[in-house]
Amino acid sequence: MIPSQGVAKSLAELYFDRFEVTYRILHAPKFWKDFNSSWDGSAKADSTFSVILLLVVLIAKTIAPADWIQKTGLDFTGLETAPVIVETCEAWISTQSKKHLTLELFQIRILIHVAKQTNNVQLKQTWTSSGTLLRFAMAAGLHREPNLLDNRISLYNKEMRRMLWATIVELDLQASLDRGMASSLGGQRWDCKAPKNIDDDAFDDANQSMPISKPSQDFTSMSFLHLSQKSIHLRTELCSLLNEPVPNLSHEQVLAYADQITILLDELPRWSDGKEGMVRRVLEIQLRQYLLLIHFRFHQKAPGGEKQNYSTFVCASTAASILQGYRKLRESGYSAYSLSSIGGILRPSLALCQIVSTSTHPSSKPPIKPNFGMT
């Protein structure tokens, strides 16, 4: 079931380059150490790493750009289908002890969830799956600050716990927003700190002390999670508020929340090129989707007048900005994030369609068709 070394290596490299710059699941130096050991015969075959590798290959195969596949000339004909690989990995993890949980077992559970989503396997169960994953993590204490737990936990394990908790939280919150349901985080308390803004090669399981977290302006492999955690409580609150059975946002509330989102957007590092620019675009999309929704809710309920017109304008410009961001991600080969959000591109597209179809001139002229800057 595992592909040849060449195919596995190419896909694993793509996985770290295109996916692990946002959600973080694996520690790159440890992965490559285990990868090399599994092929050079210096270590006994490890079933745990084999499962991790299978899922990494499956995710990477899905997010691989067509031009990259053509350039590398990789042959995927021998790979099993996504449902078969997912079912095999789920069967394997069901046989593992739930009393002696390791980081690898958490990583595999997260990878299975991501692999299902990116490969459209049981897509309707994404929200249920992310909620189960979150509760499993909380039952194991992943939501607690590692420094407050057993002193025998290594510094490496502590930082990895923070990283995995942040990833699980983000996956559940996005799935909840896409499903139109409150997040399992709603009403929950956690004190696990955000992961440090450091690269993977700055720490390992031999560390006796951890490096100081770099300034937010400095780009690292942990930048996305480190920065996204600054807005996690606001986004959790908004997700619950927006998905109440009868959401009732006043204009004052909309403006207050919009101001908070705008401040967070302004505080994002001014990265514009390469991988750094891609991460900034993803962070912008992450925040703007809430800006779109709060104004869209008011746009739908408002009786008319200047307040509704303002929300209509913000909806249109925000939706266009989100779609522009997704287009730039696709053009640069970083489409992985869009596969992690069911409503990502669909939500702003439908909002624009509704705004265009319902926008009429006060003098009853034909519907206004504004230019939103999309080509």
In the predicted structure, residue 366 carries a pLDDT above the cut 70: no
**Mean pLDDT for the stretch of residues 310-336:** 88
Clarify whether residues 117 and 178 are in a common domain: no
User: In whole numbers, what is the pLDDT of the chain averaged over residues?
Assistant: 87
Residue 45's pLDDT is what?
Answer: 61
CB 302 within 8 A of CB 355: no
Tell me, yes or no, whether 127 lies in a domain.
Answer: no
Domain-located, residue 260: yes
Q: How far apart are CA 214 and CA 197, in angstroms?
A: 5
Going 186 to 192 to 193 to 197, the CA torsion angle's sign is negative
Give residue 232's pLDDT: 95
Min mean pLDDT across 90-104, 221-235, 325-339 is at: 325-339
Question: What do you get for the CA distance between the two ends of the chain, in Å?
Answer: 43
Q: Are residues 355 and 311 in the same domain?
A: yes
Angle (nearest 5°) at CA 108 between 227 and 326: 45
How many Cβ atoms sit within 10 Å of the Cβ of residue 39?
12
Task: Return the percentage of the chain with pLDDT > 70, whole number.
Answer: 90
In a domain, 111, yes or no: yes
Same domain, 214 and 281: no
DSSP state of 324: H
| Token reading at 296 | 């869209």
Pair 143, 99 in one domain: no
Residue 128 lies in a domain: no
Domain co-membership, 145 together with 68? no
- C-alpha of 190 from chain center: 19
SS3 268: coil
pLDDT: which is higher, 78 or 307:
307
Question: Domain of 105?
Answer: 1-121
How many domains, in total, are found in the chain? 3
Weakest mean pLDDT among 21-30, 75-84, 271-280 = 75-84
Q: Are residues 272 and 306 in the same domain?
A: yes
- Of the candidate ranges 55-69, 227-241, 347-361, the one whose mean pLDDT is the lowest: 347-361
Residues 306 and 372 in one domain: yes
Is residue 296, in this structure, part of any structural domain at all?
yes
| 268 belongs to a structural domain | yes
Say if residue 75's pLDDT is above 60. yes
* 16, 113: one domain: yes
What whole-number percentage of the chain has pLDDT above 90?
A: 56
